[in-house]
């Protein structure tokens, strides 16, 4: 592996420049045209077969190298509607039009720019080391992970029929722990997630005459508080669920009672039985609060997102972890508990009927992480994914991500 990794010394500066460029030019889900074009250009320069427009803005690169297994490698490349506050020289100042027509800031607040860079780096190493492996690599650069729609869009566009069918699906995600380390999970690894938009209807009126109105602000506020009892009072202590109200919108002026309020609700779970129970409780509570407030119209529910639970195949995880330990060192690969975060990467393996192995690699400055850990203040000091302050350290994060993806791929390609 040391001979394979020597190539990194030649391409590290270029990869760093690519990462900074992607970070400075983020794009929202299904709007990743600039990113897709750059990915396609680089895949072509590496000599891969390149197909663009898969599932909208997705890009697929195929690297064939004789007979052998087929490994699917996946990186996502969409960004989030977040105003960046990192203060970096290459911080994003981009804005875009969201799906609802609003003008929003855009930031790579979840590290997808790092994912793309690492996969392109790993492909470069694999091309250079063709004499060491045999088989096929299918590199999937996926749009719209943040809204849970990109993997399904690529599959619906014939990903498994148009390109070599994989024997295993591999991927990775940068996370706010110490850079240089990789975290593995086996079995149920990332939660299912449901995103709901709930509209509650009142009757508008003058702020001085609440008796003549049905106030949806009060109705929605009571609903938010009541929803906090779902997990604490309706989910068993040995089960896991999260209910979060991430947005509440109502009204335009302080002396006008509006006629409706909107809640955006996120639900996480690891068990289908628990998921169904929580969803039923949310619907029941919303409807009951509307009745209690005297609403004259039933609330409306819209499913915004739906992520499946990610299950890492135990055998594939054990095999891949062994390869990562050999490449990075035994101490650099650690076991992690299941995460309440969600991912749609599992759809590729599930649809193909093959194992999936998905791991995390650290993106936080080692000294900063160790200091926060010693003070028991990791949550307070270390920005997490989706934070406006989240930005992986370029090194050793990039090197670790490239090495991990390369080593895992070579393990499966013999």
pLDDT tens for residues 144-183?
A: 999 999 999 999 999 999 999 999 999 999 999 999 999 9
What is residue 92's predicted lDDT score, i.e. its pLDDT?
98
Asked whether 112 and 76 are in contact (CB, 8 A), the reply is: yes
What is residue 119's predicted lDDT score, i.e. its pLDDT?
98
Q: What CA–CA distance (Å, rounded) separates 376 from 307?
A: 32
What is residue 372's predicted lDDT score, i.e. its pLDDT?
93
* Mean pLDDT of the 305-323 span: 95
Closest by Cα among 170, 171, 164 to 70: 164
* Mean pLDDT of the 46-72 span: 98
Written as six digits, the tokens of 380 are 């307070």
pLDDT class of 343 with cuts at 50, 70, 90 = very high
The residues that bridge with 242 in the sheet, in sequence order, are 268
Q: What DSSP state is assigned to residue 365?
A: -
Closest by Cα among 51, 116, 121, 43 to 78: 116
pLDDT class of 346 with cuts at 50, 70, 90 = very high
Closest by Cα among 323, 344, 320, 337 to 75: 344
- Percentage of residues in the chain having pLDDT higher than 90: 97
What is residue 258's predicted lDDT score, i.e. its pLDDT?
97
What is residue 229's predicted lDDT score, i.e. its pLDDT?
96
Exposed / middle / buried, residue 267 (Cβ in 10 Å: 0-12, 13-18, 19+): buried
What is residue 414's predicted lDDT score, i.e. its pLDDT?
78
Q: What CA–CA distance (Å, rounded) separates 208 from 191?
A: 46
Asked whether 108 and 22 are in contact (CB, 8 A), the reply is: yes
Q: What CA–CA distance (Å, rounded) separates 312 from 23?
A: 29
Q: Which residue segments constitute the domains of the chain, with CATH numbers given?
A: 2-190+309-412 (3.40.630.10), 192-306 (3.30.70.360)
Asked whether 116 and 78 are in contact (CB, 8 A), the reply is: no
What is residue 47's predicted lDDT score, i.e. its pLDDT?
98
Instruction: Clarify whether 145 is annotated catalytic.
Output: yes
Cα angle 274, 280, 283 (rounded to 5 degrees) comes to 140
Written as six digits, the tokens of 148 are 């849970």
Q: What CA–CA distance (Å, rounded) separates 191 from 306?
A: 11
Written as six digits, the tokens of 389 are 């302050």
Asked whether 165 and 260 are in contact (CB, 8 A), the reply is: no
Catalytic residue chosen out of the listed positions 84, 145, 289, 365: 145
Q: What CA–CA distance (Å, rounded) separates 356 from 334?
A: 18
Longest dimension (CA), the chain: 80
Closest by Cα among 198, 407, 206 to 322: 407
Instruction: Clarify whether 78 is annotated catalytic.
Output: yes
Closest by Cα among 174, 20, 15, 173 to 91: 20
Strands 356-364 and 241-250: unpaired
* Model confidence pLDDT, tens digit, residues 180-228: 999 999 999 999 999 999 999 999 999 999 999 999 999 999 999 999 9
* Model confidence pLDDT, tens digit, residues 102-120: 999 999 999 999 999 999 9
Tracing tokens 């299904």 back to the chain, one arrives at 30
Closest by Cα among 145, 401, 146, 84 to 154: 145
Asked whether 304 and 264 are in contact (CB, 8 A), the reply is: yes
Catalytic residue chosen out of the listed positions 27, 78, 113, 124: 78
Q: What CA–CA distance (Å, rounded) separates 395 from 372?
A: 19
Residue 139 has pLDDT above 90, yes or no: yes
- Percentage of residues in the chain having pLDDT higher than 70: 100
The residues that bridge with 265 in the sheet, in sequence order, are 196, 245
What is residue 149's predicted lDDT score, i.e. its pLDDT?
95
What is residue 357's predicted lDDT score, i.e. its pLDDT?
98
* Model confidence pLDDT, tens digit, residues 363-372: 999 999 999 9
Residue 136 has pLDDT above 90, yes or no: yes
The residues that bridge with 364 in the sheet, in sequence order, are 178
CB atoms within 10 A of CB 287: 16
Dihedral, 141, 143, 145, 147 alpha carbons, nearest 10:
-170
* Model confidence pLDDT, tens digit, residues 242-276: 999 999 999 999 999 999 999 999 999 999 999 99
Helix (DSSP H) and strand (DSSP E) numbers for the chain:
14, 18
Listed in order, strand segments (DSSP E) in 227-321 are 241-250, 256-257, 260-269, 300-307, 310-312
What is residue 100's predicted lDDT score, i.e. its pLDDT?
87
CB atoms within 10 A of CB 158: 11
Asked whether 196 and 383 are in contact (CB, 8 A), the reply is: no
What is residue 1's predicted lDDT score, i.e. its pLDDT?
82
């Amino acid at each position: 592996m040391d001979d394979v990794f020597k190539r990194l010394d030649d391409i590290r500066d270029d990869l760093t420049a690519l990462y900074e460029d992607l970070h400075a030019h983020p794009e929202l889900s299904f709007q990743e045209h600039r990113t897709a074009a750059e990915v396609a250009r680089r895949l072509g320069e590496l000599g891969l077969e390149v197909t663009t427009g898969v599932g909208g803005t997705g890009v697929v690169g195929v690297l064939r190298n004789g007979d052998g297994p087929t490994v699917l490698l996946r990186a996502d490349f969409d960004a989030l509607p977040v105003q960046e506050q990192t203060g970096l020289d290459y911080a994003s100042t981009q804005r875009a039009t969201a799906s609802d027509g609003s003008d929003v800031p855009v930031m790579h607040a979840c590290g997808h720019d790092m994912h793309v860079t690492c996969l392109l780096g790993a492909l470069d190493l694999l091309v250079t080391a063709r004499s060491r492996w045999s088989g096929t690599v299918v590199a999937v650069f996926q749009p719209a992970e943040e809204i849970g729609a990109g993997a399904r869009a690529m599959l619906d566009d014939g990903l498994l029929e148009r390109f070599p069918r994989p024997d295993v699906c591999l991927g990775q995600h940068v996370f706010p722990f110490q850079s240089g380390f990789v975290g593995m999970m086996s079995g149920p690894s990332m939660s299912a997630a449901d995103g709901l938009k709930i509209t509650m209807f009142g009757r508008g009126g003058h702020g001085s005459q609440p008796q003549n109105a049905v106030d949806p602000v009060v109705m929605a506020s009571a609903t938010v508080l009541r929803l906090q009892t779902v997990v604490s009072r309706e989910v068993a202590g040995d089960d896991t669920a999260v209910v979060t109200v991430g947005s509440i919108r109502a009204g335009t002026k302080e002396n006008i009672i509006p006629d409706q309020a909107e809640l955006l609700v996120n639900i996480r779970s690891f068990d289908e039985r628990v998921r169904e129970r929580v969803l039923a409780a949310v619907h029941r509570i919303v409807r009951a609060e509307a009745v209690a407030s005297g609403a004259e119209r039933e609330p409306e529910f819209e499913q915004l997102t739906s992520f499946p639970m990610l299950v890492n195949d135990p055998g594939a995880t054990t095999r891949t972890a062994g390869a990562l330990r050999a490449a990075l060192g035994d101490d650099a690969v650690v076991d992690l508990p299941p995460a309440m975060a969600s991912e749609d990467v599992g759809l590729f393996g599930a649809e193909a009927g093959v194992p999936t192995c998905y791991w995390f690699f650290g993106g936080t400055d080692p000294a900063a992480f160790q200091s926060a850990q010693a003070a028991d203040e990791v949550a307070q000091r270390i920005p997490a994914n989706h934070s406006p302050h989240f930005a992986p350290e370029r090194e050793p994060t990039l090197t670790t991500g490239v090495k991990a993806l390369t080593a895992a791929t070579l393990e499966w390609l013999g």
